[in-house]
């Protein structure tokens, strides 16, 4: 998978060199290219923003550098592989695990990191004439720019790229992983030692009774979902709940 990231703060993406994604890059599973938007400016001050038409606070990113950047990375006349453009913005569609899985199957993603009040709307409008564009929000809060949102999206997508995670099973159990109960949160986890600061690991996990352990884990997951995400619990499909679930 190829990823191009365009930003006025390319240094923001240094974390993509470490940990799981850094290893995936070195193994050739993910090919990341970070670009400085200012490479596509032509004035002495390398200007990327201007005042908003119609007035109002803040500045808006000028369309010209963005248009040139996208033309350079994905020339309009070479449609062999067409990238999908992701524009992080609090006004976008909510980013979900399902969207991460969908993006993980794409051969090429371009991320356009906006700053200030956002990017001149004609950039997305024009890009849509030749590639799929998704405006994506990672949560109901406003960040100072799209960079940290792109780090979040790239990490969620990257770990789903085949071969990136050592153990394929670790994706299956995730909270929000597609499955019988897509909306069940993961329960608590424990490792050695069996007693730590007078706190014992729940005995059932040491019992070796895999059926009982699976049932206990499901109870814990249900409890956690009800406590932390009543919105998800309210949307449970009653057909997916058994009698014991209902007692939890
Ligand atoms: N840029 C600023 N805030 C954002 C958010 N919540 N999600 C995605 N991009 C953003």
ipTM above 0.90, yes or no: yes
146 within ligand 1 shell (Cβ under 6 A): yes
Q: What is the pLDDT of residue 37?
A: 98
Pick the CATH number of 179-247 from 1.10.10.60, 1.10.1270.20, 3.40.630.30, 3.40.50.720: 1.10.1270.20
Residue from 86, 118, 142 to probe ligand 1 pocket by mutation (most atoms less than 8 Å from CB) = 142
Q: Indicate if 174 belongs to the active site.
A: yes
Mean pLDDT of 176-204: 89
Distance 87 CA to ligand 1 centre (A): 9
Question: Please, where in the chain does CATH 3.40.1280.10 lie?
Answer: 2-158
**pLDDT tens digits for range 121-135:** 999 999 999 999 999
Rounded to the nearest whole angstrom, what is the distance from the C-alpha of residue 22 to the centroid of ligand 1? Answer: 24
Q: Which tokens sit at 204?
A: 């059932």
pLDDT tens, residue by residue, 116-171: 899 999 999 999 999 999 999 999 999 999 999 999 999 999 999 999 998 755 77
Would the CB of 149 count as within 6 Å of ligand 1?
yes
CB of 143 closer than 6 A to ligand 1? yes
Residue 6 predicted with pLDDT over 70: yes
Per cent of the chain over pLDDT 90 is 84
Please identify which of the residues 174, 182, 186, 219 carries the catalytic annotation.
Answer: 174
Q: Is 102 a catalytic residue?
A: no
Hey, which of 5, 119, 143, 147 would you mutate to test ligand 1's pocket, going by the most ligand atoms within 8 Å of its Cβ?
143
Clarify whether 182 is annotated catalytic. no
Whether the link from the prior residue into 87 is cis, omega within 30° of 0, is no
Is the distance from the beta carbon of residue 142 to the nearest atom of ligand 1 less than 6 Å?
yes
CA 61 – CA 114 distance, rounded (Å): 7
The span from the CA of 124 to the CA of 74, in Å, is 14
Averaged pLDDT, 192-205? 98
88 lines ligand 1 (CB under 6 A): yes
144 lines ligand 1 (CB under 6 A): no
Residues of each domain in the chain carrying CATH 1.10.1270.20 = 179-247
219 in active site:
no
| CATH homologous superfamily, domain 2-158 | SPOUT methyltransferase, trefoil knot domain (3.40.1280.10)
**What pLDDT digit, counting tens, does each position of 27-57 carry?**
999 999 999 999 999 999 999 999 999 999 9
Catalytic pick from 90, 219, 223, 224? 90
Q: Which of the residue ranges 77-81, 179-183, 205-209, 239-243 has the most confident prediction, judged by mean pLDDT?
A: 205-209
Which residue, 136, 152, 90, is CA-closest to 117?
90
């Amino acid at each position: 998978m190829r990823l191009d990231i365009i930003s006025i703060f390319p240094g923001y993406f240094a974390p993509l060199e470490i940990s799981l994604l850094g290893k995936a890059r070195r193994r050739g599973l993910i090919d990341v290219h970070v670009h400085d938007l200012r490479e596509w400016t032509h004035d002495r001050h390398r200007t990327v923003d201007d005042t908003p038409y119609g007035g109002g606070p803040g500045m808006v990113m000028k369309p010209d550098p963005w248009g040139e950047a996208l033309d350079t990375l994905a020339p309009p006349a070479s449609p062999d592989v067409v990238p999908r453009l992701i524009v992080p913005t609090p006004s976008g569609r909510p980013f979900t695990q399902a969207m991460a899985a969908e993006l993980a199957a794409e051969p090429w993603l371009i991320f356009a990191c906006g700053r200030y009040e956002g990017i001149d709307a004609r950039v997305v409008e024009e890009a849509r004439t030749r590639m799929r564009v998704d405006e994506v929000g990672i949560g109901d809060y406003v960040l100072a720019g799209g960079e940290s949102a792109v780090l979040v999206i790239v990490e969620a997508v990257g770990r789903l790229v085949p071969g990136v995670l050592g153990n394929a099973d670790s994706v299956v159990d995730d909270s929000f992983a597609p499955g019988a109960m897509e909306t069940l949160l993961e329960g608590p986890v424990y490792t050695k030692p069996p007693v730590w600061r007078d706190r014992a690991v729940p005995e059932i996990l040491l019992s070796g009774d895999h059926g009982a352990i699976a049932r206990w884990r499901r109870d814990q997951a249900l409890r956690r979902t009800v406590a932390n995400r009543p919105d998800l619990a309210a949307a449970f499909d009653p057909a997916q709940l058994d009698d014991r679930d209902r007692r939890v």
